[in-house]
A and B are shown apart, each in its own frame.
Chain A
Amino acid sequence: MFVYGLTDSELIARACEGEERAFEVLFQRYHAAVYRLLLGITNNHDDAQELTQEVFLRAYQELPRLQNRENLGAWLRRTATNLAIDKLRRNKRVRFDSLDAPLTTETGEEVEWQIEDPAGDVLAAVQSSELSEAVQRALGQLSEIHRSVVVLHYMEGLPVEEVAQMLGIPVGTVKSRLARARLALRILLKDFVEVEGENE
């Protein structure tokens, strides 16, 4: 049965009729993005996998009631973000730091004192896989509240107003967290931020 060329709306209609294959195609279209978002926020592979399953279970149940069927991606992203935030709250790992408090890691240490010295990696820094791993490590160094805004705004491209709405915080707080996260990431990714032609 030809399903790969169908639009989201058509696939949703078929999935609502109980056609499992149609839902599987929707899953294949979006699961990597959902997983990436969840992994970005939770920084935990098992949590990201479990929550990805949960997102698609909810999606299947909500498909018949979905208002804008061509906007499934946005619905999935919103659901994934809500689930990830709930998960972090349940785990009581989210620290509601004061904005003036130093940016800290999971262990409570300030980011500046946790920076690894990748002096030996300078030559390999140009390789994208190295950069990807460095970004992964850097994200893991951020606290959840900073990582959440970074993932949603910088990586998912959501406007700060939408991030604020999703997280239930003022826009100014989002901007402040982004600024502090940017400073931390500048330090954590110091071997990659050099603009071409410059010498630090």
Chain B
Amino acid sequence: MKHPCETIQKQLADYLEQNLEPTAAQAVEAHLEACEACRAECHRLARVPELLQHWAPPVPTEAIWQGVQVRLHQKRLFMPRKVYALIGSAAAVLALVAFWQWWSRPTPPPALTQMDMEPFYRAHLDWAPHTEAVNLHLSLSSGGEVNDGAR
């Protein structure tokens, strides 16, 4: 049969972490009230977290920040975001200007048809009835479009 102290001391860490059932915890407490040796062991175990606070890890080196800097610059993440904003704004303005120029471009005059030109030819015939070129044109343009060179 195990000595009660041995059983209790195996439970002390769980007791300190509040990881025991209430009845088991009460049994441990009752034993600690009566047993100086187990109480001392409980105090030792309770000191462990406090001891860990004395850990002073080595100071991290400057190389960490240098590495962060290098990697951020490689990814171009350190370019001031105002610069990105300016680049974006400039691109938007250029796009607007291009659109405006396209939108307001001079529209070519509608092509003149034979019907549009007929009164002018008639007037010209009245003025120069025997002009060979005009006669020729009238004979050729029977409803087709008239190009600028014919005027």
- Asked whether A35 lies within 8 Å of B57 as measured between CB atoms, the reply is yes
Measured in the bound complex, the distance between the Cα atoms of B55 and A155 in whole Å is 9
Q: Which of A32, A36, A179, A193 contacts B13 (CB 8 A)?
A: A179
Q: How many residues of B contact A (CB 8 A)?
A: 40
0 or 1 for each of A180-200: is its CB under 8 Å from B? (1 = yes): 101101100100111100100
**Chain A: how many interface residues by the 8 Å CB criterion?**
49
Residues of the A chain whose Cβ atoms lie less than 8 Å from the Cβ of B117: none
| Alpha-carbon gap, A56 to B67, bound state (A) | 10
Question: A18-B80, A45-B58, A179-B17 given as contacts; is B51 within 8 A of A52 (CB)?
Answer: no
Contact check, B43 vs A195: say whether CB atoms are below 8 A apart: yes
- Choose among B40, B55, B56, B68 the residue with the greatest number of A CB atoms under 10 Å from its CB: B55
- Interface: A67 (CB within 8 A): no
Contacts A182-B16, A183-B45; A135 near B52 (Cβ below 8 A): yes
A36-B57 in contact (CB<8A): yes
Q: In the complex the two chains form, what is the Cα distance from A48 to B40 in whole Å?
A: 37
Instruction: Return chain A residues, CB-CB under 8 Å to B78.
Output: 18, 20
> In the bound complex, do residue A189 and residue B80 qualify as a contact, i.e. CB atoms below 8 Å apart?
no
A155 to B57, CA, bound (A): 12
Q: Is the CB of A17 within 8 A of B72?
A: no
| A27 CB, nearest partner CB in chain B, Å | 6
Dominant secondary structure of chain B at its interface with chain A: helix
Chain A, residue nearest B79 (CB): A18
Chain B hits for A40, CB < 8 A: 55, 57
Contact A52 B60 (CB under 8 A): yes
A39 touches B57 (CB 8 A): yes
| B67-90 with Cβ < 8 A to chain A | 67-69, 71-72, 77-84
A176 part of interface (Cβ distance < 8 Å): yes
Residues of A2-35 at the interface with B, using a CB-CB cut-off of 8 Å, are: 16-20, 24, 27-28, 31-32, 35
Q: Are A195 and B44 in contact (CB under 8 A)?
A: yes
Q: Tell me the minimal C-beta distance from B78 to chain A in angstroms.
A: 5
Taking A52-B60, A186-B44 as given, write out 19 further A-B residue pairs in contact, using a Cβ cutoff of 8 Å, ordered by the A residue number: A18-B80, A19-B80, A35-B60, A39-B57, A45-B58, A52-B64, A53-B67, A135-B51, A135-B52, A136-B57, A176-B17, A178-B17, A180-B13, A189-B48, A192-B51, A193-B45, A193-B48, A195-B43, A198-B43
Closest 3 pairs (CB-CB, A-B): A18-B80, A175-B19, A179-B13
B residues sitting closer than 8 Å to A (CB atoms) are 13-14, 16-19, 40, 43-45, 47-49, 51-61, 63-65, 67-69, 71-72, 77-84
**A-B residue pairs in contact (CB < 8 Å), sample of 16:** A18-B78, A24-B65, A27-B68, A28-B65, A48-B60, A49-B60, A49-B63, A49-B67, A57-B68, A57-B71, A132-B55, A176-B14, A180-B13, A186-B48, A193-B44, A193-B47
